[in-house]
Structure 1
Amino acid sequence: MNVVRHAARTLRREFMAGDLLTVFAALVLGVAAMTAVGTLVDRVTLALTASAAEVIGGDLGVQARAEPPAGFAEQARQRGLAIAHRVTFPSVLFHGESSLMATIKGVDGAHPLRGRLRVARDVAGLHAEDAGGPPAGEAYADPRLLAGLGVSIGDTIELGASHVRITRVLLSEPDASGGLMEMAPPLLVHRHDVAAAGLLGAGSRASYRLMFAGPPDAVDGMRQWLEPQLQPGQRLVGVEDAQQGLRAAFDRAGRFLALAALLAVLLAGVATALAANRFALHRIDTVAILRCLGARQRDILGSLALQLVLLAIPACALGIGLGMLAQVALVEALGNLVPARMPLPQATPMLAGAGIGLLILFGFGLPPLLRLRGVPPMRVLNRSFAALPATSLLAYVAALAATVALTVYATGDVQLAAWVLGGLAALAVIAAAAGAALLWLLGRVQARLRGAWRLGLAALTRRRGLAVVQLVGLSLSLCALLLLAVIGPGLLGQWRDRLPADTPNHFLLNVQRDQAQAVDQALRGLGVADPDLQPFGTGRLLAINGKPPQRAQVDEGDDGNDADRPVNFSWRHGFPPANTLLEGQYWDASSRADEASLEEGWARRYGMSIGDTLTLQLGEQERTFTVTSVRKADWDSFRVNFFVLLNAGAVGDAPYNLISSFHLPSGRTAALAPVARQFPNVSVLEIDAILERVREVIERVAQAVQLVMGFSLAAGVLVLLAALQATAGERRYDSAVLRTLGARHGQLRGAVLVEFGALGLLAAVLAVAAAALIGALVSRQLFELALAPPWVPLLAGGAGGVLLSLLAGWSGTRSILRTPPVLALRQG
């Protein structure tokens, strides 16, 4: 036989019959979802890497809490590298009676070494130009700073003990955080003006950075020379530190997208396996006839395999095309979450998408065809058929492992794949065990039943293997659909709810202790329900467990020694809001013991646990506190949170000022002007723009996820239909026999409804429970959200699955009843 001609002719004839069309659609959806997400992740990663040097303002740098040694700059000059100095610190600016907290950045004329510093002579930014660092006596100001102080270009503002004149509006600069987490607006000045202002004395919170730029070999050599020279408090700054705010935002977006893509690929594999199994069952008689006519086994299998290849080529091409269109839509949906200058799509994600398509096809579609090797020519006279060979089972396992590995490679999220796929694998095992146990039980009781109940349950027990496969497919597809349609939106909603309408949008800083009552009354007069002024102290971390503090988590180029490190802390009697107690016991309000409560990240950084001690310098006193609790702080709440909390009953007379966060309706910041005039030392920081930016991130991620979920939901529906039709041929043959024996239409329809109702109900129970469990674990472990299972939508989805199962059974009986018994018996 001519294998190629036979494969092409058979494929053309069988494509629209249903099974191969299902396989084709599953391939298209799986390849499209993976290509879209993989291409987007690849483009963003390349863009972030390519622009990293521009973002940090150089190729390499040294950051420290004090001015880096002059020898570092001299060594860089000897290697032919350009250098630039910069110092950054928070400070309050004044203009008349107005004051505003700002981020002061003192630079020299060489700044920036990489990237572009964009300024304008007008507030609207219509005449933008590139510039270097400002000359001495001049400053470039963020537009928010101009509005907050009520000044214009050409005005002079107070900077410590000196004055600077604003000559340009600062539009963009390297090393900016993109506006996402930079709370105070920046002011760019010359380093000489910073020195003249007298703001860099002892106790200042300044951060110094020495940047280098030059040929790659020289930069690498400088890095190797610097690493052994670094002292405590000094660390290297490289391209890996760039765009951290953007990376964090995209990481969460990427996890949502990866979840949708992962489920789409898995569902495509399940749909392919079910459809291919049905396709193989329908080919049994054809293979037997070909064997009777002298066709060789290898030619028959070659023809069937070639049909899969001919099917895969257009499916992968169409999937890649749809995936590329989808990733363009994803870039548009994510908007300014992704870099403005995105590189062109690379071939690797497309090849990975096509590779996943081929793995799905041959891994899940070929094993059922291997069973056809054992079809004897006598099949034309009897109903014999080979059992599933061990090689087919191994092929399934290998295909699943390879698909998971390639999916993890494309999405870059091992944890997500482990939790989701582990949960679904457990569901498949439980569904198979539950199905086998239920069928055994039904086999014991169905003989005592009558009518449609007996016929329907007998159909299940007679085809136990197929019924178990059908149940597993139904459970997986319904669980995946619930994860996508209920758990996914629930996670996004939980993320949105972390920023409710009354989220604090103002911070009040530097309130002195003798001003506390007056400031509290002033804020309550503006409608602030609970100003919650909290003490804010700065001390020195002297020891942990009696030894110099050493970080358990050490940055590259840093020895982790934090001896004499400044530490911000607070104290209170009651447990703080926006915190969750993880370990230990929080002190009683009346306690006077030397107790401390640590935030989990800070505790992990120093490897501390319950019972450890930390020694702090609080003003003139040196105190040792015992750790009695570990908390998780909700930093997204925009409430005032601290890494170190002390028992208020044991602090004594430590120096401090007060800080508060509160909510005012948008646009009412001007109402705080009397407070600023009455207390000129107090700084008011408005963060409405930051909150809007965070909300925009959430909304854009939600739009992108919904787009990818469309592919996954389509794949889930496809699996559901494939699972429901898995035994259509067998039911058609059984119904024909029963009709020949005199069964009525109502009895046959009732039997099918019982069969599908039992399958659908068991699958729904398993899927709802699994979706709730997987959703809770994934939300807590990966998204750091506390999602309570939304039982009402889950149960509604489970009921919908049962109804869909019953609808499929009812629809199937209509076609069966329209088929003459003689024809059905011949086809069986």
Structure 2
Amino acid sequence: MALTSQLVLNLARRELAYSRRTFTALFLAITIGVTALTAINSFAERIELAMAARSGELLGGDLRISSQRDLQPFVDSLPPALKPDATVLEMPSMASTGEQLQLVEVKVVGGNYPLLGELQIRDQGLQRQPPAGSVWVEPSLLTQLNIDVGDTIELGFSQLTVAGVIDHEPDRVAGAFSIGPRVILAHADLADSRLLQPGSRFRTRLLYGRPPSELDSLQQQLDKILPKGSQLENAREGLETTREMTRQASRYLRLTAFAGLLLAMVSVFLSVSGLLEQRVIPVATLKAIGAPSSLVLQTYLLLLVSTALAAGLVGVTAGMTLQNLLPQLLGNLLPGDLPKPSNQAIGQGLAVACMMTLFAALPPLWRLVKTPPVRVLRSAVPPAGSLFGKIGQALAGMATASLLLIWLAQDFKLGAQASAGLFLLMLLFALAGQAILALLLKSVGIGGLVWRQAVTGLVRRRTHTLFAVAALATGILALLAPSLIQQDLLRQWLVKVPQNSPNHFLIGIQREQVPDITQLLAELGATQFSPQPMIRARLVSIDDTASADLELTTSRARRMAERENNLSWRRLPEPNNPILQGLWWQPNTEQHELSLEKEWAELLGATLGSRITFEISGEQVSGVVTSIRQVDWERLTTNFFVIFSPGVLADAPSSYVTSFRVSEADADSLRQQLIAKFPNLTVIDMRQMLAAMQSIIERLASAVQFMGALTLLAGGAVLLAVVVAERGRVSQEAALLRALGASNRQISAIFTLRFGLLGTVAALLGIFAAVAAGAVLAARLLHISYQPSMALLGLTLLISGLLVTLVGRAGCQRALTESPLTLFRETN
């Protein structure tokens, strides 16, 4: 036993020394695949842990009632046992120092807020509510208004002292999507500020913190009397919802990682197959002199498992290091500080390294040890294996990859669909590559020696060539498609907005203020303003079908049906909103007529003649659809999904809103004078909003490109595996060409052209697929126009072709320097 073990170790050591380049390629392929997998898995796990740990804090309490309406009358009607333990109101407003203005998110807290988690104020520790006449603010507001703690700011009609800086807010969701810095105000100071006006936009939350034994009974009682348009949630359900949301996001992240892992599996397959094909004659010689098949099997299993474990450890270490870069790329899009990952991703990485290596190696290794040595030695040609054997090996590899994908996605249906899609994609790449090879083969007769040898070399090893083409094209697709969409999405936000469009919005205008504000805007040089009434309403029914019973097919349609809508009324149509169906009403009409925005009508299934009913402040108002119009949202003018004919909503509670344009030089002065005279107004600078959106898009795109780079790196490992696997045949071909009189310059040109053709074909296929994928995503997911950058496509083609050429050419350098006799001896 000891002798056998020693013999296995000696043979393994010699084999490793002889085939070190092949094992190096195998090591790199496994390392890259495990790195991508570990980085994404551990990062996804950290997000899941963070969201699970903060679910109760994010909810704000054990039970929460939320609404976009004023719930104070509901609270006043509750018996003492059902009154909330804390209240929260959130709304946009303007904070001012007299000289500078800043749009802020005001949070009004009352009762025993916070019920869960900790509200940390810098240098003051844990707190509940700011003292009377004061506020707490986020650090960014100090910088933006150039103030310090102790200074005074104007908020609404109140002068408030900045009493502290917020370091941590327990129920604050990711701050990147906020419209401005947070300002926390005590509920006792809300009335004096007069921030709440008829038609104001705000969110109300009633929070309950009770013992677990009382929660079910409390929830049942509140559910029976819940106001319309309100939502009742508990921490347990919120946790499950959060987990499902983060679980879905994690699945897609893991599917992204699998693209790199799949390419790594291809390179492992090529490396192992190339290694074992090169060792057919030495293994046959060993068996001919009496070595048992078990010795050969143990030797190669030891080598492959050792390589897989070593590469897996390196990949896990690199992945755990790289996953720390993703939070830095995404910044404050993430839910606060992420906890440390567990060791689960490490175990998965090592398991995957061994699984993909063994499943790639076992079919050819089994065939190697079972092939009779006399068959090999008589022909001196390594047996290629039967067609059924190759098909079986391919099916085994596909089954292994599918099982890994389903396991990593943690969802059988999603994993199976993604697996089928990825393999279909690679199959299409292989078929397209086959067609291109056929065309190249037809051109052999019209080219010279260099062209003929370059093309026939690709065709001769057709299987390896097609694997390399498919893998490299998939890597280019994974990296290029997000880049194309990112460029187009940024153009949508930054370029599609017409130069002369309004650049500010003014909200919270009261009806009696409209004449004075209109006059002031004109005096201050603003243009394109036209205050429009805005009425908050909830959809009740369409054609007598309750909103809850509408057959809606998308989540967006369901949100539109459930949320409160902003209605308006007009006498004349907006000039830039053409009527697509029906007719606009007469200015003096007395009928209850409606005009709908095209997409809103399509999502909710409303058509001309539909009767739609809304609820406004407890009263129902109906109208018949007489026109459907196209809204030009890109102009940033004041638009509404639903517009009533005049007179129907004249007495409904409303505020007014308008967009306007002002020169950049006059913008600050105009905002200051508006807020000084009308403190209840909120001015939104669209330039700041667009800049914030650009920042979000760029961070998300950076994270996607980060994963795309790992995928392309895995594609590079495939190329390296192809080069190493072909090293013996390249050396033999080079020796034969030199023996027949070819110069080093000709041989160098042949290999350069061969790998140049390989890189160009793969780049072309990847580019075509990326353009098609970008078009589908732009149309189906993002709903944006799509104009791929020709410069980016050309640069991708150039860089990909050059990279493949240089790597392939470098791998063949030794074949150009050794003598033909040395090369013949090594390859035979």
Correspondence 1:669-818 to 2 at 5 A = 669-677=668-676, 682-685=681-684, 694-701=693-700, 704-705=703-704, 707-742=706-741, 745=744, 748-749=747-748, 751-752=750-751, 755-781=754-780, 786-807=785-806, 811=810, 814-818=813-817
Per the alignment, residue 487 of structure 1 pairs with 481
In 1, the alpha carbon distance for the partners of 2:524 and 2:238 equals 41
Q: Which amino acid aligns with 2:40?
A: V
Q: Which amino acid aligns with 1:297?
A: S
Preserved CA contact (<8 Å) 1:456 1:754: yes
Residue of 94, 106, 112 corresponding to 2:114: 112
Q: Return the offset for 1:272.
A: 1.4
Per the alignment, residue 6 of structure 1 pairs with 8
Q: Which amino acid aligns with 2:41?
A: G
Name the SS for the 1:86 alignment partner. Answer: strand
Identical positions, percent: 24
1:500 aligned to 2:494?
yes
Cα offsets for 1:220-261 (capped at 9, x unmatched):
5644665566564332234489899x9999999979966763
In 1, the alpha carbon distance for the partners of 2:360 and 2:610 equals 54
1:291 aligned to 2:290?
no
Name the SS for the 1:346 alignment partner. Answer: coil
Residues 720 and 667 of structure 1: is their aligned pair in 2 closer, same or farther, counting only changes over 3 Å? farther
Residues 745 and 591 of structure 1: is their aligned pair in 2 closer, same or farther, counting only changes over 3 Å? farther
Preserved CA contact (<8 Å) 2:453 2:750: yes
Per the alignment, residue 84 of structure 1 pairs with 85
Per the alignment, residue 472 of structure 1 pairs with 467
1:55 aligned to 2:54?
no
In 1, the alpha carbon distance for the partners of 2:10 and 2:662 equals 69
Preserved CA contact (<8 Å) 1:496 1:695: yes
Residue of 288, 294, 300 corresponding to 2:296: 300
Q: Return the offset for 1:451.
A: 3.7
Cα offsets for 1:700-738 (capped at 9, x unmatched):
445555555553343222222323454332233344345
Preserved CA contact (<8 Å) 2:505 2:659: yes
Q: Return the offset for 1:335.
A: 3.8
Residues 395 and 658 of structure 1: is their aligned pair in 2 closer, same or farther, counting only changes over 3 Å? same
In 2, the alpha carbon distance for the partners of 1:823 and 1:815 equals 11
Per the alignment, residue 623 of structure 1 pairs with 623
Preserved CA contact (<8 Å) 1:491 1:779: yes
Residue of 378, 393, 405 corresponding to 1:381: 378
Preserved CA contact (<8 Å) 2:469 2:761: no
Residues 752 and 529 of structure 1: is their aligned pair in 2 closer, same or farther, counting only changes over 3 Å? farther
Preserved CA contact (<8 Å) 1:477 1:720: yes
Q: Which amino acid aligns with 1:480?
A: G
1:211 aligned to 2:207?
yes
After alignment, is 384-393 or 654-663 more displaced?
654-663
Per the alignment, residue 28 of structure 1 pairs with 31
Residues 622 and 212 of structure 1: is their aligned pair in 2 closer, same or farther, counting only changes over 3 Å? closer
Residues 438 and 13 of structure 1: is their aligned pair in 2 closer, same or farther, counting only changes over 3 Å? same
Preserved CA contact (<8 Å) 1:107 1:188: yes
Q: Return the offset for 1:173.
A: 3.9
Per the alignment, residue 234 of structure 1 pairs with 230
Per the alignment, residue 41 of structure 1 pairs with 44
Q: Return the offset for 1:291.
A: 1.9
In 2, the alpha carbon distance for the partners of 1:168 and 1:611 equals 57
Name the SS for the 1:344 alignment partner. Answer: coil
Residues 242 and 413 of structure 1: is their aligned pair in 2 closer, same or farther, counting only changes over 3 Å? farther
In 1, the alpha carbon distance for the partners of 2:345 and 2:638 equals 42
Residues 329 and 543 of structure 1: is their aligned pair in 2 closer, same or farther, counting only changes over 3 Å? closer
Correspondence 1:353-364 to 2 at 5 A = 353-364=349-360
After alignment, is 291-300 or 67-76 more displaced?
67-76
Correspondence 1:211-360 to 2 at 5 A = 211-216=207-212, 218-219=214-215, 222-223=218-219, 230=226, 232-239=228-235, 261-360=257-356
Q: Which amino acid aligns with 2:426?
A: A
After alignment, is 622-631 or 316-325 more displaced?
622-631
Residues 628 and 145 of structure 1: is their aligned pair in 2 closer, same or farther, counting only changes over 3 Å? same
Cα offsets for 1:584-609 (capped at 9, x unmatched):
946788999956334757964x5657
In 2, the alpha carbon distance for the partners of 1:355 and 1:368 equals 21
Name the SS for the 2:546 alignment partner. Answer: coil
Residues 728 and 113 of structure 1: is their aligned pair in 2 closer, same or farther, counting only changes over 3 Å? same
Per the alignment, residue 548 of structure 2 pairs with 550
Residues 229 and 347 of structure 1: is their aligned pair in 2 closer, same or farther, counting only changes over 3 Å? farther
After alignment, is 710-719 or 505-514 more displaced?
505-514
Cα offsets for 1:401-420 (capped at 9, x unmatched):
023224434xx99979967x
Q: Return the offset for 1:117.
A: 3.2
Residues 796 and 169 of structure 1: is their aligned pair in 2 closer, same or farther, counting only changes over 3 Å? closer
Preserved CA contact (<8 Å) 1:3 1:303: no
Q: Return the offset for 1:311.
A: 0.8
After alignment, is 6-15 or 308-317 more displaced?
6-15
Cα offsets for 1:165-224 (capped at 9, x unmatched):
658446254434454444477665565666799998987766543322244454456446
Q: Return the offset for 1:377.
A: 0.4
Name the SS for the 1:343 alignment partner. Answer: coil
Name the SS for the 2:623 alignment partner. Answer: strand
Cα offsets for 1:773-811 (capped at 9, x unmatched):
223334555566655333332233224444445556655
Q: Return the offset for 1:84.
A: 1.0
Q: Which amino acid aligns with 2:467?
A: V
Q: Return the offset for 1:308.
A: 1.4
Preserved CA contact (<8 Å) 1:614 1:626: no
Q: Which amino acid aligns with 1:26?
A: A
> What root-mean-square deviation, in Å, do the aligned CA atoms of Structure 1 and Structure 2 show?
5.2
In 1, the alpha carbon distance for the partners of 2:741 and 2:151 equals 100
Residues 467 and 170 of structure 1: is their aligned pair in 2 closer, same or farther, counting only changes over 3 Å? same
Preserved CA contact (<8 Å) 1:35 1:353: yes
In 1, the alpha carbon distance for the partners of 2:94 and 2:753 equals 77
Q: Return the offset for 1:544.
A: 0.8
Q: Which amino acid aligns with 2:481?
A: I
Preserved CA contact (<8 Å) 1:548 1:561: no
Per the alignment, residue 80 of structure 1 pairs with none
Gaps of 5+ in 1: 78-82, 120-124
Q: TM-score, normalised by structure 2?
A: 0.78
In 2, the alpha carbon distance for the partners of 1:679 and 1:413 equals 58
In 2, the alpha carbon distance for the partners of 1:291 and 1:670 equals 92
After alignment, is 87-96 or 41-50 more displaced?
87-96
Preserved CA contact (<8 Å) 2:25 2:724: no
Q: Which amino acid aligns with 1:30?
A: G
Preserved CA contact (<8 Å) 2:506 2:682: yes
Residues 509 and 621 of structure 1: is their aligned pair in 2 closer, same or farther, counting only changes over 3 Å? same
Correspondence 1:417-496 to 2 at 5 A = 424-439=422-437, 446=444, 451-461=449-459, 463=460, 466-481=461-476, 483-484=478-479, 486-496=480-490
Preserved CA contact (<8 Å) 2:37 2:261: yes
In 1, the alpha carbon distance for the partners of 2:504 and 2:10 equals 70
Per the alignment, residue 401 of structure 1 pairs with 402
Q: Which amino acid aligns with 2:63?
A: L
Per the alignment, residue 658 of structure 1 pairs with 657
Per the alignment, residue 534 of structure 2 pairs with 536
In 1, the alpha carbon distance for the partners of 2:565 and 2:705 equals 45
Preserved CA contact (<8 Å) 1:550 1:561: no
Name the SS for the 1:509 alignment partner. Answer: strand
Residues 508 and 720 of structure 1: is their aligned pair in 2 closer, same or farther, counting only changes over 3 Å? same
In 2, the alpha carbon distance for the partners of 1:785 and 1:12 equals 59
Q: TM-score, normalised by structure 1?
A: 0.78
